[in-house]
Chains A and B, each alone.
Chain A
Amino acid sequence: MRSEELCIAALATAIIAFTSGTALAQKKYDTGATDTEIKIGNIMPYSGPASAYGVIGKTEQAYFNKINAEGGINGRKINFVSYDDGYSPPKAVEQARKLVESDEVLLVFNPLGTPSNSAIQKYLNAKKVPQLFVATGATKWNDPKNFPWTMGWQPSYQSEAHIYAKYLMKEKPDGKIAILFQNDDFGKDYLKGLKDALGAKASMIAAEESYEATEPSVDNHIVRLKASGADVFISITTPKFAAQAIKKLAEIDWKPLHIVSNVSISVGGVIKPAGFENAQGMLSAAYAKDGADPQWDNDPGMKKLYAFLEKYYPDANRLDASVVYGYGAAQTMVKVLEMCGDNLTRDNVMKQAASLKDFVPDTLLPGIKINTSATDFAPIKQLQMMRFKGEKWDLFGDIISGELSE
């Protein structure tokens, strides 16, 4: 009696295993993906010193809600699990482990901050969990050889620096460059990019000064840089110091060609406080459309963004660059998942993420495209130069790639 029962049970199990095996032959899943759901993890600083960036996570959540409301990706709903790390690396490690081991997500998408991502990179790569489209501008994320499970998204600080160097070599080959940079990973990454791109012409750099983010003012550095006799001034500064520099330049009547880094291009946060009249003719570069700029009011991509915000994230501040950022990143994620089809393994996710061809999220500047390959883990590499005129930035020139080989 007993053995008979066992026999039947075994047979039944075998049949189930066999039939379900054939049914699933076309579909492949890793932890976190099923016929009905794709589980995506995320870590954001919803609290703490960088909590302003939490908007990125909220925008992404709203965007995935929209995708789910429209039927999901190939019939699968996105389950977006987003945790707070308060911009603290140890907390990021805890949350990453929770996502991977407890929530069992398929991948970790767009975790924010250079320190937090550095803290979880080794763990995620050891676990072979994709750490996709990290939200930081450091250059080190494009390292497919050593970290095949980590990929960046936005242009790195170095590629932006390459663009300025290329512009200077072309437009001002006899220029003498003075550089002011913040003494941290951001400033140093940037400076390295400038020097790499200038190459043999690095002698164009007449003077460089570094400042600590804790200094009250950069005025004395600027006076010293002026004394070097330079006629180009590159300001690798965060918003507060960028504004100080613009003001000080006008005060001491120094009128070099002024280039300011992309992190400090906010019209409301930097240029207005420093005085529009002091910023005329200043140069920078951008890759995304600016919600505060009226020239995009009738742009179809931005209209789509605004329609989405109205329906799914009505309390968002549409002037906030983080909204534009989160929307673009989420669109890229959805694109990759669509490309994966029914093969939702971690391996395939990385493979598809590394084979994006000319993908254009709605919020990137016209002409800027996302391209990746097995050896290129830097999705956005192009930027466009812009000049400050009147009370806004005017884009000019071609879309330029930050890659040095071109």
Chain B
Amino acid sequence: MAAVEDIVTEAPAVEAVPKRAMTLGTGTSLVMLGLLLVVPLFVKNFIIFQMTMLLIYGVAVLALNILTGGSGQFSLGQSAFYAVGAYTSAILMEQFNVNYALTLPIAGVICFGFGFLFGQPALRLSGVYLALATFALATAMPQLLKLGYFEKWTGGVQGLVVTKPDAPFGLPISQDMWIYYFTLVITIAIYIFSVNLLRSRSGRAFMAIRDNEIAAAAMGVDVALYKTLAFGVSAGITGIAGGLGAITVQFVAPDSYTITLAISLFLGMVVGGVGWLPGSIVGSAFIIFVPNIAEGISKGLSGAVFGVLLFLVIFLVPHGARQVAIVGQQLIGRFRKN
């Protein structure tokens, strides 16, 4: 127990050194990348599908991590941005015959705009009030998607079925595997972009605002601009994840993007470690696999089992996967000294 307490008190000190704390070491990164590249070659299509979903939710959690871990703003409305991204991709693909790869940047740009605009009124709010405002967005989204005015494009409550793309250039791999590698490339690109963003001038501005808004303003940081910018970037990345989700699942419907999704993403961020980007993938794994494990333990009480597991995680490792990683690092360090 003493060890855990040590780390809990130690954690803020790590936050102050964002450069190292944000990422994994080069060696660990390469091993992770190698695993992500090689594993799909040896597993069933279903597992590949799950791994694709893992990456997609990982990107969505990462986006929330930039917003909350980076700039210190809460959001329970990520499902709304995810939905807008998913619908943008689906509508462009099915109604306007746009190539699936091209729909992703469009989804990203639209969501960036949407998030940036939403960030304007959200400026006046902070903490729990902001969380509530974004909550409203998440609750409203499924109903907006059902509206009769948009039905021509959205398919209303029936949703839209999306055609799964084949591998290009006649590559002899299955659709699932192609989408997986396609997603992997985008995920890596977004990850690198995010890490660099947080290390850049803008990232430092985000973190200054997170740590002390007044001090940041006094230092000459444009608080309003950077807060809305963080919202925009986060929404844009979530939108890309949504678009990838639509392509992978091959179906969009208003009921897919309820508040439950937003809470799942939030949960993934906390479990992965707020502000620690590699944790996003761990958080994503938690929200995808732990409900399945819970269901395996007891069907009737799956919700309760999930609750207990979540409680255990929060109680034992309040800083999520990042804390586990730090413990691991310290152990290795001690081992090396000996």
Contacts and interface: CB of A to CB of B under 8 A. Distances in A.
Interface string B250-263: 11010110101100
Contacts of A184: 146, 156-157
A48 B291 CA distance: 12
A98 B157 CA distance: 25
A46 B156 contact: no
Nearest to A126: B164
B143 interface: yes
A93 B250 contact: yes
Contacts of B245: 90
B51 to A, nearest CB: 12
A167 interface: no
A84 B302 contact: yes
Contact of B249 (A58, A93, A98): A93
B272 to A, nearest CB: 20
Contact of A97 (B49, B158, B161, B300): B49
A295 interface: no
B46 A115 contact: no
A212 B299 CA distance: 34
B214 to A, nearest CB: 41
Greatest chain B CB density within 10 A among A83, A90, A185 is at A90
A23 B157 CA distance: 51
A94 B250 CA distance: 11
B213 interface: no
A47 B295 CA distance: 10
B45 A101 contact: yes
Interface in A206-239: 212, 214
Contacts of B258: 49, 88
Contact of A88 (B45, B158, B260): B260
A223 to B, nearest CB: 22
A119 B159 contact: yes
Interface string A33-64: 00000000000001111000000001000000
Per DSSP, chain A at the interface is helix
Contacts of B44: 101-102
A164 interface: no
Interface string A64-82: 0000000000000000001
Contacts of B161: 118, 121-122
Given A86-B260, A93-B250, A101 B46 contact: yes
Interface in B206-259: 245, 249-251, 253, 255-256, 258
A366 interface: no
Given A46-B300, A97-B49, A101-B44, A88 B251 contact: no
Chain B interface residue count: which class? 20 to 34
Interface residues of A, number: 32
Interface string B276-297: 0000000000000001000100
B249 A115 contact: no
Contacts of B46: 97-98, 100-102
B202 interface: no
B121 interface: no
B328 interface: no
Greatest chain A CB density within 10 A among B53, B249, B291 is at B249
Greatest chain A CB density within 10 A among B157, B245, B295 is at B157
Interface in B289-331: 291, 295, 299-300, 302-303
B60 to A, nearest CB: 12
Nearest to B288: A94
B295 A83 contact: yes
B113 to A, nearest CB: 25
Contacts of B53: 90, 94
Contacts of A183: 148
Given A101-B45, A119-B159, A84 B295 contact: yes
A192 to B, nearest CB: 13
A87 interface: yes
B57 to A, nearest CB: 10
A100 B159 CA distance: 23
Contacts of A82: 299
A115 B45 contact: no
29 contacts: A46-B299, A46-B300, A48-B260, A82-B299, A84-B295, A84-B302, A88-B255, A89-B159, A90-B251, A90-B256, A93-B251, A97-B45, A97-B46, A97-B49, A98-B46, A102-B44, A115-B253, A115-B255, A118-B253, A119-B159, A119-B249, A119-B253, A121-B161, A122-B250, A122-B251, A123-B250, A183-B148, A184-B146, A212-B143
Interface of A: 46-49, 58, 82-84, 86-90, 93-94, 97-98, 100-102, 114-115, 118-119, 121-123, 183-185, 212, 214
Interface of B: 44-47, 49-50, 53, 143, 146, 148, 156-159, 161, 245, 249-251, 253, 255-256, 258, 260-261, 291, 295, 299-300, 302-303
Given A84-B299, A115-B157, 6 more contacts: A47-B302, A88-B256, A94-B49, A97-B46, A114-B157, A115-B159
